[in-house]
Structures are given as C-alpha cells and as structure tokens.
Amino acid sequence: MERRQLFGDALLAAATCAVLLGGCLSLGVDAGVFLEPLSAVLGCLGMVGLEAVLLRNPTLARRLWDRPPVRAGSALGLLVGAGLAASLGAVWIVAVLVWGLLAYLGLVGVVLVRGHNPLAPSG
C-alpha cells in the first residue's frame, strides 16, 4: 500500500475521531467515559477484528475502499450511528468507536515505520 493511501486513511480516521470527541464534549458528555479501560479494550479488539476480516481479501477491500462514496459513507455511517447511540444514552459505544479509531491510527503509524502491516498474514 502506498504511503499516500495510508496518510489519507489516517486523515479520515483522525477527522472522524475528532468529530466524535468534539461532538460529545460539546454536548456535555463526561470525558471520563473515554478513559474507561473496557472501552479501550473493546475498541482495540474491534479494530483488530475488522482489520483481520479486511485482510482476508486485501485487493477487494482496497478496491472498494478507494471508492469515494464508500469512504464517505463509512465515516458518515459511523458518525450517525455514534450520534444515535449517544442520544439513547449509550455513550460507551461512542467511546469504543473512538478507541477503535485511535487503535487504527496507531496501526497506521506502525505500518508507516515498519513498512508492512503486522496484522497481515505472512507468506
């Protein structure tokens, strides 16, 4: 994968994460919900699980992800789902999503430094 694609993916994840955090904090959500260890664990495990599924067919995943409507729709869907969860009082779901996005940003950093995805099957 090209570095430019990785930077674009990271930028989308960071922007989505910033909107989630900013939206919640501007609405008066207690920031402590984002510091719950269980939210961090679930978010990180969710990211690893999603990445593992996508890596089963990386060519197809990349071909689909490179379509602008898929990228925009994914980010919008995540934001709408998070907004719905928050409006129903399930702010912990938003925290899990934030941690998943942060974990993905960490993964992108590792890929940029090491030159390959450590979650990708070897061989």
Q: What is the pTM of this model?
A: 0.92
For 10-64, the pLDDT digits (tens) are 999 999 999 999 999 998 889 999 999 999 999 999 999 999 999 999 999 999 9
For 57-73, the pLDDT digits (tens) are 999 999 999 999 999 99
- Rounded to 10 deg, the angle between the 37-54 and 91-114 helix axes is 50
Please state, in angstroms and rounded to a whole number, the distance separating the CA atoms of residues 6 and 26: 30
